Amino acid sequence: MTKDECKQVVLDIIADIAPDEALSNVKPDVRLRDQLELDSMDFLDIVMELRKRHGIEVPEADYPKLASLDSCAEYLTPKFNAVGAKQ
């Protein structure tokens, strides 16, 4: 998986958990909470959906790494590739 593909996976999850938000202009280098109406429960949703849909675990200590799309891609892409390698 590329980092761009990883960002799309995260955006797809956000589209489901924040269905009122327009996601076409999300800036990858800006904190998601600074540009979208997302609260702490929504971030738990992102963590849960990564677990449910993709078998990816994000420990609580790593939650700050989900702050922006860029940081998500940086942190999650290796995890996706590790999961993919196992399958």
Partner 1 sequence: MSLPRIVITGVGLTAPNGDNLATFRRNLLAGVAGIERLEVRYMGQLLAGVCHYDPLKYQKKKEVRVGTRAGSISIYCAREALQDAGLDPAALVKDRTGIYIGCTEHGNVETENEIWAISKFNHDTKYWSHYHNPRTVANNPAGETSLNLGVTGPAYTIGAACAAGNLGLIHAAQMLRLGEVDVAICGGVSESIHTFGIFAGFKSQNALAVHDDPLKASRPFDLARNGIVVSEGGCLYTLERLEDALARGAKIYGEISGYCVNSDASDYVLPNPTRQAECVRKAVAHAGLRPSDIHIVNTHATATPLGDIQECEAIRSVFGEGCPETHVNNTKSFIGHCMGAAGALELAGNLPSFEDLTVHPTINVDNLDPKCALPGLVLNQPRRAAKIDAILNNSFGMLGINSTLIVRRFVP
* Residue 2 or 51 having the CB closest to partner 1: 51
Residues 11-50 that bind partner 1 (CB under 8 A): 17-20, 37, 41, 44-45, 48
Instruction: Provide Rg for the chain, Cα atoms.
Output: 12
Per-residue contact flags (x/-) with partner 1 for residues 47 to 76, judged by CB under 8 A: -x--xx------------------------
Min separation Cβ 19 and partner 1, Å: 4
Integer Cα distance of 83 and 28 in angstroms: 24
Contact positions vs partner 1 (CB under 8 A): 17-20, 37, 41, 44-45, 48, 51-52
